[in-house]
Structure 1
Amino acid sequence: MAAPPDGEVLRAHGLHHAYGPTPALWDIGLHLREGEVLAVTGPRGSGKSTLLHCLSGRLRPTGGEIFFRGKPLHSLGRGARERLRLRHFGWIDSSPRLVPELTVRENTALPLLLHGAGHRAARKAAHEWLDRLGVASCARHRPADLAQDQRQRVAVARALVHSPAVLFADEPTAPLHRSDRAQILRTLAAAARSHRITVVLTTHDLALTHAARTADVTGAALADRRMALDDGRRVRGLSPGPAPLPAPGEGEAACSLSV
């Protein structure tokens, strides 16, 4: 295979996936460069989550090819895909999956510790991301002590702490209020720009790709490009998005314990 274009991180050709006889993706192609934000939109059941699982190596596609920095991902075995995800990818679900026995700081630092970073450096990086997301005051608490939006912010910090090459975010703001959604989306967009992280974000809510406007934030919407899916098929091509979103201002949120 020829070398990928400069800055290209992820590429897919003719991507197919089926669950038994039921097709979930059909002939999907895309390419993403370093620091880009792609919003994948569509109704529930349109194939958005399946696409993210295939692109991230969580699922091996039924057909087609996926390349990460020019190297084939689709043909890797399970162990190799798991190592690639640990080192180069980040993941955020719609519900935070935090380790209940660990504190917020320990949960956030975990990816760096798994990469072999020292405890002091990992704690420092964790604190910086928690502060950026307004939950640094919760660092010593455990997840059960936090409100839902705070747990989701911790999950975002954990996904970003090791500066992954690609961050996959599957409906990351679905359970949150509008103001909480806006802060998380601003943080993801700012991280893409400042740390050159490529972000692939799914949502069934088209309004979320314009969260900056709906939350009375100065600047344009989240995504550089958008791709819509319906019944596993792309219904329109990758389209240019608005101008990049500026980095969010500093803000602090007190740790309100759940009761």
Structure 2
Amino acid sequence: MVAPPDNDVLWARALHVSHNGSPALTGVSIGVREGEILAVAGPRGCGKTTLLRCLSGQLMPQRGEVWFNSTPVHTMGPLVRERLRRDRFGWIDPEPQLVPELTAWENAALPLLLRGDSHRAARKAALEWLERLDVGPCARSRPHALLQSERQRVTIARALVTAPTVLFADEPTAPLHRADRAHVLRTLTTAARSHGITVVLATHDPAVTGSTGAADAPLADRTVSLLDGRRVHAVRVAESPEPKGAACSLSA
């Protein structure tokens, strides 16, 4: 077992995962730097969600290693991994999963209330994040009264309210229209950068990856692509050239 590089907040080596006998990841290795916004791109079924679940400790690979801040996640027991996800990670699903009986601010504050924070502190933090994500006026509304894009931004606020070290976002704009996708992506990445949060974002949106057809600069610092469970290439967005081999040094 080899310790990861010091400047990587997340590091995975030679991940192998199969679902019902079909390979989902085949020898994928990847490193994520602190404060980086990393896009994981590729067609549906290529292994993006499986990779995010492995990196976040939700899924244990059949083979391979996952490290968080030089701590081996792949050797942790279930309770320790659950505590890691609760205290250090945030997660956003493709579809907003909100509690229908709760208001927007209560949904956003839920992780803080569940871990024992005071009602007043949790409400204050939730309202601040809703304002940052442009849904402050919706704070007292319940999910059924919100637009799809508003519900997704409430979900993002809930994921960010605990100030996670790493935020995992699995196709967070998949159900949204183009204009709503752009707005949600901008607010998500801006909020993460302003608070130094590392983001691992599974997507096929060109606004994130900078692929053909995107009019503006990509929102991600770097993009890695998967195809049939394998890592095929990486592209880094930088003002100056990256040292030779740096972007793809962990390619499968």
Which of the five TM-score ranges fits, normalised by the shorter chain?
A: 0.7 to 0.9
Give the corresponding residue for 1:231.
Answer: 228
**Any idea what the Cα deviations from partners look like across 1:147-203, whole Å, max 9, x if unmatched?**
111111110111111110110000001111222212221122223322111100011
Task: Please give the alpha-carbon distance, in whole angstroms, between the structure 1 residues aligned to 2:162 and 2:156.
Answer: 11
The residue type paired with residue 184 of structure 2 is I
Cα deviation, residue 242, structure 1: 4.6
Distance 1:71 1:57 in 2: 12
1-structure distance, mates of 2:9, 2:177: 32
SS of the counterpart of 2:35?
coil
1:222 paired residue among 219, 222, 225 = 219
Q: How far has the Cα of 1:2 moved from its partner?
A: 7.2
Under a length normalisation based on structure 2, what TM-score does the superposition of the two structures give?
Answer: 0.88
The Cα of 1:6 is off from its aligned counterpart by 4.3
Secondary structure of the residue aligned to 2:75 is coil
Structure 1 alignment gaps of length 5 or more = 244-259
Contact kept in structure 1, 2:4 and 2:67, CA below 8 Å: no
Gaps of 5+ in 2: 240-252
- Measure, in 1, the Cα distance between the counterparts of 2:7 and 2:113: 28
Question: Deviation of residue 125 (structure 1)?
Answer: 1.2
Alignment partner, residue 119 of structure 1? 119
Q: How does 1:149-188 map to 2 (within 5 A)?
A: 149-188=149-188
Provide the residue aligned with 2:243 in structure 1: none
- Over the aligned positions, Cα root-mean-square deviation in angstroms equals 2.0
Contact 2:208 2:220 in 1 (8 A): no
Q: Which segment drifts farther, 177-186 or 142-151?
A: 177-186
Find the counterpart in structure 2 of residue 40 from structure 1.
40
Aligned partners of 2:183 and 2:137: how far apart in 1? 17
2:98 aligned with 1:98: yes
Is the 1:108–1:158 contact (alpha carbons within 8 Å) kept by the matching residues of 2? yes
CA distance in 2, matches of 1:125, 1:198: 20
- In 1, the alpha carbon distance for the partners of 2:215 and 2:131 equals 21
Identity of aligned residues (%): 61
Q: Secondary structure at the match of 2:85?
A: helix
Output one character per residue of 1:84-135: Cα deviation in whole Å (capped at 9) or x when no partner. 1011110111100111111110110111222332221211111111111111
One-letter amino acid matched to 1:239: V
Residue 5 (structure 1) shift = 4.3
Q: Please tell me the residue identity of whatever aligns with 1:177.
A: H
Q: Contact conserved, 1:224 with 1:240, CA < 8 A, in 2?
A: yes
Contact preservation (8 Å) 1:223, 1:241: yes
| Number of residue pairs aligned between Structure 1 and Structure 2 | 238
Asked if 2 retains the 8 angstrom alpha-carbon contact of 1:178 and 1:215, the reply is no
Match for 1:241: what amino acid? V
Q: In structure 1, what is the Cα distance between the partners aligned to 2:141 and 2:205?
A: 32
The whole-number CA distance in structure 2 between the counterparts of 1:22 and 1:45 is 11
Task: Give the partner amino acid of 1:91.
Answer: W
Give the structure 2 partner of residue 81 of structure 1. 81
Q: Is the 8 A contact 1:16 1:24 kept in 2?
A: yes
- State the Cα distance separating 1:3 from its structure 2 match: 6.5
Distance 1:64 1:146 in 2: 42
**Structure 1 segment 23-38 matched on structure 2, within 5 A:** 23-38=23-38
Once residues 7 and 154 of structure 1 are traced to their aligned partners in structure 2, the CA distance between those partners, rounded to angstroms, is 31
Provide the rounded CA distance (Å) in 1 between the counterparts of 2:54 and 2:64: 10
Secondary structure of 2:176's match? coil
Distance 1:95 1:67, change over 3 A: same
Amino acid at match of 1:226: T
Summarize deviations over 1:49-104 as a string: whole Å, max 9, x none.
11111111111111100001111111212222111101111011110011111111
The C-alpha deviation readout for 1:33-52, integer Å capped at 9, x for no partner, is 21101100000110011111
In the TM superposition, residue 140 of structure 1 has moved relative to its aligned partner by 0.9
1:240 paired residue number: 236
Paired residue secondary structure (1:39): strand
